[in-house]
């Protein structure tokens, strides 16, 4: 790239970054947050709108409102009428008067108010300023003689600018969530007297945030009816930050169009990953909830109020280790059996010619097609005849048989891809066929064998349907069936269910990730699925 183009690019980059930052600052100074604070509440039962009692209460409330206006609050009176039929069949109503004030706040309003989210707000501002400074300093140090159009130092500075922008971008949702937690969840917990420690300190901070400390002792009532809302503009702010980040990156590496496409790519990947991880997030946090929190909408939260580690010890007492051991036994045994039968078969298929080879291949592929579910009735009948009903052995055999096809198929592929010369040499040196297989081929085919091994193991570990049918006593349950015991008609103990699920999931996910590299290689030929 030549010098004038570089200069032009640098200029464009600066303009884009500046535009993004300025737009962000404008959006930040808009009152994106609004809080409806009830300063005073009065309830009046057994009245009708307009009758004497109503008039009296209304006058009382208006006097209070007037009082607040005199103190400089901008207040309104809200009326909430709830009609109901009493035991005598008469309709009466409960009227609630609330004196509310709407506060609209921008991000700058949070600064210096002692709330934990105000620290985040400050961090966002500082990071954005840092990004700007780094960017400008980086531009100033541009050295047109350096081939990649930037001096090392300025390159570092501009990477720093991008990093600062990324961080501030990540902090935006943190800021929003923290506000929601402080203003609604924590408050409702305090008001319901579920938490008592730290109440005064928080209330004093909120008093200074909303009322400049004027509320004093009435702050509890005032915050009782707090409603918060944030305008969707917050997400525009988020998007703006992101676009300025993109502009910075794209111009650093070249064209705007490809830079934007890259940005969209990152957004897409991020969204897909977040959606994919979402159930795992739910599983993890729920595993550490108390039972009340799992079932109560009232606890609005992203993380447990208190991490209950005793859930883990509780499920130990509820037999989960036993289920895990059962699963390990079934899956391990099934894997061993499937490999013991599968390796010779795959070897024969890969290295020998015989009549009916094709027929056997077809037989194998066909057997892969039938999930045991369609054959459930037949399998349970067969297990009855063999006296293997409700035994782990029966489960193991079924799993081995239904994974046989896949094992053979994948192993055969691996064996075929390895040249047979080494084995021939070994056989000429006096090894038998078995020796050639165990000493030469198997070590060479180790990655493929491990992949097949892990795959069969995971399939057997995750199997659920056959186990529900075959296993009838608690002590023989594998973990997949075991977790369902935490749900019954009248009570579901989600926290235990997910704690056990977590224990059942972590090992297999790790195993699966270890073979992920080989997945893309031998996949379509093998037709693998759990």
Partner 1 sequence: MNTGLNRTKWEPYVWLLPSILLIAIFVVFPILIVFKLSFSEISKAGVIGGFIGFDNYVEAVHLPAFKTVMLNTLWWVLSVVILSTLLGFIIAMVLNQKFHGQKIARAIMVFPWATSLVIQASVWNYIIKAEYGNLNNVLLNLGIIRQAINWRSSYQIEFVWECWVGIFVTVPFVTFCVLSGLQSIDGSLYEAATMDGAGFWHKLRHITLPMVRPSLTVSTVLNIIYVFNSFPIVYTMTKGAPAHKTDTMITYLYMLSFYERKKGPATALSVIGFLILCVCAGIYMMTVMRKEEEL
Name which of 108 and 464 has its Cβ closer to partner 1.
464
Name which of 219 and 408 has its Cβ closer to partner 1.
408
As a whole number of angstroms, the distance between CA 47 and CA 43 comes to 10
Q: How many CA atoms lie within 13 A of 17 on its CB side?
A: 28
Name which of 92 and 231 has its Cβ closer to partner 1.
231
Instruction: Give the chain's radius of gyration (CA, Å).
Output: 34
Nearest distance from C-beta of residue 524 to partner 1, angstroms: 4
Nearest distance from C-beta of residue 112 to partner 1, angstroms: 24
Nearest distance from C-beta of residue 130 to partner 1, angstroms: 22
Q: How far is CA 172 from CA 21, 30, 69, in A?
A: 14, 15, 35
Nearest distance from C-beta of residue 426 to partner 1, angstroms: 10
Nearest distance from C-beta of residue 529 to partner 1, angstroms: 5
Q: b/e string for 281-299 if b means 16 or more Cβ within 10 A?
A: eebbbbbbbbeebbeeeeb
Nearest distance from C-beta of residue 350 to partner 1, angstroms: 7
The two structure tokens encoding residue 379: 């399998």
Q: b/e string for 213-239 if b means 16 or more Cβ within 10 A?
A: eebeeebbebbbbbebebeeebeebbb
The vertex-353 CA angle with 428 and 368, nearest 5°, equals 120
Nearest distance from C-beta of residue 48 to partner 1, angstroms: 29
**Which helix or strand (DSSP H or E) is residue 80 part of?**
strand 76-85
Name which of 195 and 341 has its Cβ closer to partner 1.
341
Please enumerate, as own/partner, the contacts of 232-235 that have beta carbons within 8 Å and a separation of 24 or more: 233/27, 233/30, 233/32, 234/32, 234/172, 234/176
Name which of 22 and 192 has its Cβ closer to partner 1.
192
Task: Name residue 98's beta-bridge partners.
Answer: 41, 78
Number of residues written out for the chain:
530
Name which of 205 and 230 has its Cβ closer to partner 1.
230
As a whole number of angstroms, the distance between CA 104 and CA 435 comes to 80
Nearest-CA neighbor of 340 among 416, 427, 402, 400? 400
Name which of 8 and 229 has its Cβ closer to partner 1.
229
Kindly give, in sequence order, each residue whose CB lies less than 8 Å from that of residue 367, ignoring residues fewer than 6 positions away. 402, 404, 405
Name which of 3 and 278 has its Cβ closer to partner 1.
278
Nearest distance from C-beta of residue 181 to partner 1, angstroms: 8
Nearest-CA neighbor of 17 among 262, 264, 252? 252
Nearest distance from C-beta of residue 513 to partner 1, angstroms: 5
Name which of 91 and 489 has its Cβ closer to partner 1.
489
* 193 close to 160: Cβ distance less than 8 angstroms: no
């Amino acid at each position: 790239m030549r010098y004038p183009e570089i200069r032009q690019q640098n200029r464009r980059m600066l303009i884009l970054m500046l535009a993004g930052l300025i737009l962000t600052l404008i959006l930040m100074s808009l009152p994106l947050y609004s809080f409806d604070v009830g300063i005073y509440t009065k309830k009046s039962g057994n009245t009708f709108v307009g009758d004497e009692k109503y008039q009296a209460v209304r006058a009382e409330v208006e006097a209070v409102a007037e009082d607040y206006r005199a103190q400089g609050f901008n207040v309104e009176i809200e009326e909430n009428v709830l009609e109901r039929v009493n035991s005598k069949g008469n309709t009466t109503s409960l009227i609630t008067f609330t004196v509310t004030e709407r506060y609209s706040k921008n991000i700058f309003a949070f600064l210096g108010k002692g709330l934990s989210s105000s620290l985040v707000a400050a961090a966002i501002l500082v990071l954005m300023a840092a990004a700007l400074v780094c960017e400008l300093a980086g531009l100033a140090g541009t050295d047109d003689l350096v081939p990649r159009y930037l001096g090392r130092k300025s390159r570092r500075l501009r990477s720093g600018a991008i990093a600062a922008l990324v961080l501030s971008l990540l902090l935006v949702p943190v800021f929003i969530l923290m506000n929601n937690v402080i203003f609604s969840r924590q408050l409702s917990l305090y008001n319901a007297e579920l938490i008592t420690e730290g109440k005064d300190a928080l209330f004093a901070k909120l008093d200074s945030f909303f009322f400049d400390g004027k509320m004093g002792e009435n702050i509890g009532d005032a915050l009782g009816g707090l409603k918060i809302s944030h305008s969707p503009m917050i997400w525009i702010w988020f998007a703006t930050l992101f676009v300025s980040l993109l502009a910075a990156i794209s111009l650093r590496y070249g064209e705007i169009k490809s830079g934007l496409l890259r940005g969209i790519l990152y957004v897409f990947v991020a969204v897909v990953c977040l959606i994919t991880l979402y159930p795992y997030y739910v599983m993890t946090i729920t595993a550490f909830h108390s039972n009340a929190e799992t079932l109560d909408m009232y606890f609005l939260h992203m993380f447990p109020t208190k991490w209950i580690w005793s859930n883990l010890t509780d499920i130990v007492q509820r037999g989960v280790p036993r289920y895990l051991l059962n699963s390990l036994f079934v899956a391990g045994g099934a894997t061993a059996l499937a490999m013991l039968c599968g390796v010779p078969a795959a070897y024969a298929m890969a290295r020998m010619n015989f009549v009916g080879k094709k027929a056997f291949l077809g037989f194998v592929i066909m057997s892969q097609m039938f999930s045991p579910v369609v054959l459930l009735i037949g399998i349970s009948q067969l297990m009855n005849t063999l006296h293997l009903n409700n035994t782990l052995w029966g489960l193991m055999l079924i799993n081995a048989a239904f994974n046989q096809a896949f094992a053979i198929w994948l192993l055969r592929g691996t064996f075929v891809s390895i040249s047979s010369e080494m084995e021939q040499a070994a056989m000429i040196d006096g090894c038998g066929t078995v020796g050639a297989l165990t000493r030469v081929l198997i070590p060479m085919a180790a990655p493929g064998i491990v992949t097949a091994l892990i795959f069969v193991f995971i399939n057997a570990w995750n199997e659920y349907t056959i186990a529900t049918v075959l296993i009838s006593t608690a002590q023989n349950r594998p973990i997949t069936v075991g977790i369902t015991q935490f749900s019954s008609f009248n009570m579901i103990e989600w926290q235990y269910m997910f704690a056990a699920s977590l224990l059942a999931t972590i090992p297999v996910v790790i195993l699966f990730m270890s073979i992920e590299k080989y997945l893309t290689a031998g996949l379509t030929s093998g037709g693998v699925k759990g």
